[in-house]
Amino acid sequence: MNLFPYNSGHLMVVPYRHQATLQELDDDECLDLMNGTKLAIKLLRYVSHPDGFNVGMNIGRSSGAGIAGHVHIHVVPRWHGDTNFFPVLADTKIISQDMKSTYGKLKEAMRKVARRNA
């Protein structure tokens, strides 16, 4: 889970090997990254029922990457009307669900998925 989430349930899919760019990952690592992204979306659909998702990467410090030396994919659940004026006027982001609660729900959903795939 992202420590500074854009929305409740903001996940990051991160390869085990620290590499700064996609080109430095081998084909299996790229496939794992994409399969992890698919799994993240599946879990978030099950737990949070979002209307859509933002999925993307910030590669390099100038693009906004918080972990510039470790390429990763952001998966951000989105709902109609989930934006408001707080970030613009008060430099404050409202997260509608506690991260620990979201984590618990995702962990339980992961167990269910693992049992189905066993």
Which whole-number Å values give the CA distances from 50 to 1, 16, 75, in the listed order? 16, 28, 12
* Domain at 106, CATH number: 3.30.428.10
Residue 1 lies in a domain: no
pTM of the model: 0.76
Which helix (H) or strand (E) segment holds residue 56: the answer is strand 52-56
Residues in contact with 38: Cβ distance below 8 Å, sequence separation at least 6, in sequence order: none
Residue 16 lies in a domain: yes
The residues with which 77 forms a beta bridge, in sequence order, are 53
Q: Which domain holds residue 97?
A: 11-110
**Has 72 been annotated as catalytic?**
yes
Count how many domains the chain has.
1
Residues in contact with 58: Cβ distance below 8 Å, sequence separation at least 6, in sequence order: 64, 65, 66, 74
Which residue is catalytic, options 10, 18, 72, 80? 72
**pLDDT digits (tens), the chain, 118 positions:** 777 777 888 999 999 999 998 999 999 999 999 999 999 999 999 999 999 999 999 888 887 777 778 899 999 999 887 775 555 444 555 566 777 888 888 888 888 887 776 5
